[in-house]
Amino acid sequence: MTDCERFHRRDFLKLGTAGLLGLGLADLLRLEARAGNAKRKATSIIMLWLAGGPATIDMWDLKSDAPENIRGDFKPIDTSVKSVRICEFLPKTAKVMDQCTLVRSLHHNVAAHGPGTVYMTTGNRPTPALDYPSLGALASKLLPAPAGVPSYVAFTGARENGFNGAAGYLGSAYNPFEVEGGANRMQLRVQGVSLPDGFSVSDLEYRNRLLESFDEKFKALDDADLPASLDKFHQQALDILRSDKTKKAFDLEKEPKEVRERYGQDALGQSALAARRLVEAGVRFVTLGLGGWDTHAGNFRTLSTQLLPQLDGTLAALITDLNDKGLLDSTIVYCAGEFGRTPQINNASGRDHWARSMAVLLAGGGLPKGFVLGSTDARGMAPDADPCSPDDLSATIFHQLGVKPDHELTTSSGRPVAIFREGRVIEKLV
């Protein structure tokens, strides 16, 4: 599946592969670092990625008083927060707006799918000089996860999403575990975690003992950059394969039927439910996606009949469920795409690429409830109050995780790099 630029969405979900007991899975865990002693308000993130560039002017920041060729077909409706109004096709989300933060003043200048995706999902402006890691890879590097569960999980399969899951300069050890599953059957399988058919845990133990018998000799020949704690991280890899924590998280049949139906009986809804269960098990970053937002033509028809109703049900169910489970205070829900769309409606009843003004929705993780940050001008062309960038938003999210934006990591060449080189914490959100 490609967008208007012939950009293949899977090109930006660069996933590591792991052999059953090869270094792939061990590498994925062996270098996991622990964040400092900063107090955290959140411990996990669920990112709902809207690939293609959603028309946030028709979702979160409607301009009902603007001329017809800007305001479009949709009407705003009241929400659970007085004075905050959103699109009429998001009625379920409107009811949980008292748990959410809307950022209406986000902006950047990279209005192309690939680079825009990199910018939004790494918190660093793309540059040929350095391949920055995604937010999920950073979380995998900096946050601890309980034994037996991966730190970072990404859903793919039936719905391609443009999320940049790559680990960049951190190396493939921090790429996500990929979850495969069909839209209707949702038979979820995690690469590198599920054992092959016909291969038992006993077989795994036998192969591990065989591997260990050669281990010392191989170490003497190994000149790779492997720390002395390789055994420890290799053991963690084995723990995931042995553990039933991850397997149980994907057993959605354990959930009441009404809960599964509330999320939506499709890939997005069931992936969101699995994401909640993964966070409950200790996973630190989960990304899932809904594509199709590249609405150069038929924007209002596509949004009203397809995308918004699906997003509305799943997003509201996720926020409500996390809150009911007591998980919302420690989990950040982040709903975003790579850019917004033009305030001016084109001749095909669509909107084109526009990064100079856009909006995102956040919830949980100690962020303000029922709050709107910033605003745009009367025609939605640019922010006119509290402008912020993807760098700032990412820095703020990681601040809630207890990590400062100037926290430095080291590239494979030994170069120290701040995780968000231009990001500042948005004080009004913390």
Contact 211, 21 (CB under 8 A): yes
- 300-349: per-residue pLDDT in tens? 999 999 999 999 999 999 999 999 999 999 999 999 999 999 999 999 99
Residue 150: per-residue pLDDT: 86
The Cα 71–Cα 343 span in angstroms is 8
C-alpha of 159 from chain center: 14
Question: Is residue 149 packed enough to be buried (19+ CB in 10 Å), middle (13-18) or exposed (0-12)?
Answer: buried
- Over 70: is that where the pLDDT of 297 sits? yes
Q: So what's the pLDDT on residue 188?
A: 54
* pLDDT value, residue 164: 55
With a pLDDT cut of 70, the percent of the chain lying above it is 75
Domain ranges of the chain: 9-429
Q: What is the pTM of this model?
A: 0.83
Q: What is the pLDDT of residue 126?
A: 94
Q: What is the pLDDT of residues 393-426, one digit of tens each?
A: 999 999 999 999 999 999 988 899 999 999 999 9
What is the predicted pLDDT for the residue at 391?
Answer: 98
In the predicted model, is pLDDT for residue 19 greater than 60? no
d(CA 79, CA 316): 12
Mean model confidence pLDDT for the chain: 83
Confidence of residue 166 (pLDDT cuts 50, 70, 90): confident
CB crowding 334-346: b at 16 or more within 10 Å, else e: bbbbbbbbbbebe
Q: Is residue 157 predicted with pLDDT exceeding 60? A: no
233 vs 340: which has the higher pLDDT: 340
CATH-assigned architecture of domain 9-429: 3-Layer(aba) Sandwich (3.40)
DSSP string, 191-223: TTTSPPTT--HHHHHHHHHHHHHHHHHHHHH--
* pLDDT (0 to 100) of residue 147: 79
Could you tell me the pLDDT band of residue 248, with boundaries at 50, 70 and 90?
A: confident
For 78-126, what is each residue's pLDDT tens digit?
A: 999 999 999 999 999 999 999 999 999 999 999 999 999 999 999 999 9
Task: Check: CB of residue 147 under 8 Å from CB of residue 409.
Answer: no
Task: Return d(Cα 389, Cα 120) in angstroms, integer.
Answer: 9
Q: What is the pLDDT of residues 176-195, one digit of tens each?
A: 888 875 433 445 555 545 55
Report residue 197's pLDDT band, with 50, 70 and 90 as the boundaries. Answer: low
Taking each helix axis as running N to C, give the angle between helix 390-400 and helix 135-142, from 0 to 180 degrees, rounded to the nearest 10.
Answer: 30
pLDDT of residue 185: 41
Name the DSSP letter for residue 368.
P
Residue 265 has pLDDT above 70, yes or no: yes
Is residue 76 scored above 90 in pLDDT? Answer: yes
At residue 214, the pLDDT reads: 44
| CA proximity to 191, closest of 12, 13, 19, 14 | 19
Record the tokens describing residue 181, joined without a space: 């599953």
